[in-house]
Structure 1
Amino acid sequence: MAISLSKGQKIDLTKTNPGLSKVIVGLGWDTNRYDGGHDFDLDCSIFLLGANGKCASEKDFVFYNQLEGGNGSVVHTGDNRTGAGDGDDEQVKVDLAAVPAQVERISFVITIHDAEARGQNFGQVSNAFCRVVNEETNQEIIRYDLGEDFSIETAIIVGELYRHNGEWKFSAVGSGYQGGLARIATDFGLDVG
């Protein structure tokens, strides 16, 4: 039975699940009725952050054009351009034991592709969620449903895996941004010029 989290909650991952080393972070969403004439394409991006809360280089940014990071310990399984169907829309595989020591946090972000040009925002998105699954057993460990807290935002930091005293934990962040992926990438120390 998965533990359901609310915004701001944190939970132990490896301490309460001994032997857990490989997880799948699944992200999903639905789009509300929308008749703006454009497709609605949401994307998952992952930032591998050091102690300073920044990416050391562009190699610490994982997304649909760079599917691996952290020496192969973080793997994005590919872009879903429609979000159609049930279950996870995009997935990220994380080998916790192989994440480089300098990476202290792995931040999971959902953005709306080309949101400003298309006049789209998270007010038009529903049923967004993030879940953490044990890759070996396929058992869902944690689930975080984002609710309908967002309206004008075009990007959301959904959650983070982070190290604490040698154990991995998960934080349900749920923090919305305007300015899309570029704004978050800049905040995480990347030059997106």
Structure 2
Amino acid sequence: MSQVRGRFLVREEAAFAVRREPPLTFVSRVLTTSGDRWERAAAVLILVAWAQDTGDLLTDPDSAIRACAALVPLPAEDPRPTAVLLEALSDPHTADHWCDAEPLPQFDGWFRFALLRALLARTTTLEEVLDAALALMPMANDFTVERDCGPLLLRAFPDGNAGEAALTDAQRRFVSAIAAKDNCWGSIGNKITWLRTAGLPTDRASFRVLLANPGRAAGV
């Protein structure tokens, strides 16, 4: 355990144990007094776990804190979390390394996976998340399909009708990005179920034929 994480957990446990301050007061104090990104991010994620209002943190100077705050299911009509998530996912590699010193205990896997999950929960169309999807594709591979490419395929083709109608511009751009990514076409079969559910071919050659077919162009 790193010194940063250890120090934070000791302080948290001590505050709770002696009941000198309520949990939310402790978290609020960390957010306002700590200059450590890991501590502040961990505190925000405690608020997320407790479904507390993190709206004030959506304008925090630290992009990592803003992104953590956007993970709370704030009212759907509030556009700010969506904008913060899109900003974070415009550079998913940087987002993944916001807290390199020690993984945040609330996350299972890379930061970008949690951000994408939250973004998909706050949106309904592929067009809304297309920029994020295209930014994520260079990092996608057969081993990450359950957390990036797969859910995005369901967003792109929610009715499983990829083989029944002309591709929209957004669908074509996303499918083209998958076709171009060598690491998405290895021998690991994780992707096959997702492709079948979307109504897409499960081999790369057929994928490319679909994209090259003029009759599949959007609007045709």
Alignment TM class, shorter chain as reference: under 0.3
Select the structure that is richer in strand.
1
- Higher RCO (CA-CA < 8 Å; seq separation 6+): 1
Q: TM-score, normalised by structure 2?
A: 0.22
Q: TM-score, normalised by structure 1?
A: 0.24
